[in-house]
A = this chain, B = another copy of it.
Amino acid sequence: MTERSGSLSLSDVAREAGVSLTTASRALNDSYGVSASTKAKVLATAQRLDYVVSPDAVRLAGGRTRRVALVVPHIERWFFGDIVNGLTAVLSSADLDLLLYQVDSAADRLDFFTRLPARRKVDAVVVVGFPVAPREQERLALMGVDIVAAGGQSADYPYVCIDDYQAGRQAVDHLVELGHSRIAMIAAHDPDQPGWPARSGRSEAYVDAIAAKGIDVDDVLVRDVDWGGLNAASAMASILDAVPDNPPTAVFAHSDELALGAIRTLHRRGLRVPEDVSVIGIDDHPLAELTDLTTVHQSAREQGRIAARLVIEALAVRAGAGTAPGSVTAPTKLLVRSTTGAPRGAVRRG
């Protein structure tokens, strides 16, 4: 029952500094109407006493909570984990706490969106990796919290994400430039997050890049799978089985994990990478370096950091400072390693 372990309150600071509670509060909050000298005195006292504000009291009294909710699916996956990593780093340096809500399934989402709004627990929410449905947007709007999207766009919220079409072009154009014309694609989608439109940018890029070469897309070379390396492995096998006499010379996978799955199947079928088949992914997953996978790099961590900054800016605006945050598109970059090369024919020609 040793509840209060020595932590002192604002009134302690006020008394010690010789001012009223009101003034102490204003000084600490940079409110208007406090002389410079008084403010300095209060700040110094607070510092000396190691005073730390009680977020709960602030919230109850109508102030900000200094808490932000992070709504994220599949936190165990590299991309999301790295976003969280970057996010927490800058959020904590701004003295903001992070409430984590994992929403893998549709049920989780419903639960989150119906529960959070009940009592405002946070000042802002960061939605990672999935689009917010119209009804969910309404609930969020009702709360009056600031919202930021990371790893994708959503509604009109400020966002940070890569340009999926651009990333796709970087990957497929690389294959095309190498001389490939028979290029397979393994596209991914998350069955629990239907309607995520961004991913399709990668598919559009594939179609365009190939069309630019005057070739029609051969649907038999395209597979759409649930997320996961194993599914990609099956998809690759399925493609190979469908065109035994005329296999693709290259594979564009929507992600590195998918690419790794495809490579596994290729190896099992006795095909060499890249001699027989080139493979490229997107992400630059930590394992991509370990497996010498050619890929299109993106930094999830940096996107997390940017999302945090977007939140901080939005909070500042609300507090009457700064300007509304603008969305940012994170850069992507082709990283040629050892899983792509010129197709056989091209080599022979040399």
| Chain A residues within CB distance 8 Å of chain B | 2-3, 5-7, 50, 52-57, 59-60, 62, 65, 67, 70, 74-78, 80-82, 84-85, 88-89, 92, 97-102, 108, 111, 115, 117-121, 142-144, 229-230, 233, 257, 260-261, 264, 286-287, 289-292, 300-301
Contacts of A55 in B (CB 8 A): 56, 119, 121
Chain B residue with minimal CB distance to A58? B56
Chain B residue with minimal CB distance to A89? B102
Residue among A53, A54, A142, A301 with max Cβ neighbours from chain B (10 Å): A54
Q: Would you mind naming 29 contact pairs between A and B with Cβ atoms under 8 Å apart? A: A3-B144, A5-B144, A7-B118, A54-B60, A55-B119, A55-B121, A56-B59, A56-B121, A57-B60, A70-B100, A75-B81, A75-B88, A76-B78, A76-B82, A76-B84, A76-B300, A76-B301, A78-B78, A84-B102, A85-B102, A88-B101, A88-B102, A89-B102, A92-B108, A92-B111, A97-B121, A98-B100, A99-B100, A260-B291
Chain B residue with minimal CB distance to A98? B100
Contacts of A84 in B (CB 8 A): 75-76, 100, 102
Complex: A119 Cα to B88 Cα, angstroms: 20
CB distance from A85 to the nearest CB of B (A): 5
Complex: A108 Cα to B89 Cα, angstroms: 9
Copies in the complex: 2
Contacts of A3 in B (CB 8 A): 62, 144
Nearest 7 interchain pairs by C-beta: A52-B118, A76-B81, A56-B56, A88-B102, A229-B290, A56-B59, A76-B82
CB distance from A338 to the nearest CB of B (A): 10
Task: Apart from A81-B81, A85-B102, A230-B289, list 10 A-B contacts with CB within 8 A.
Answer: A3-B62, A56-B57, A56-B60, A57-B60, A76-B81, A77-B81, A84-B100, A88-B100, A88-B101, A260-B291
Complex: A102 Cα to B289 Cα, angstroms: 25
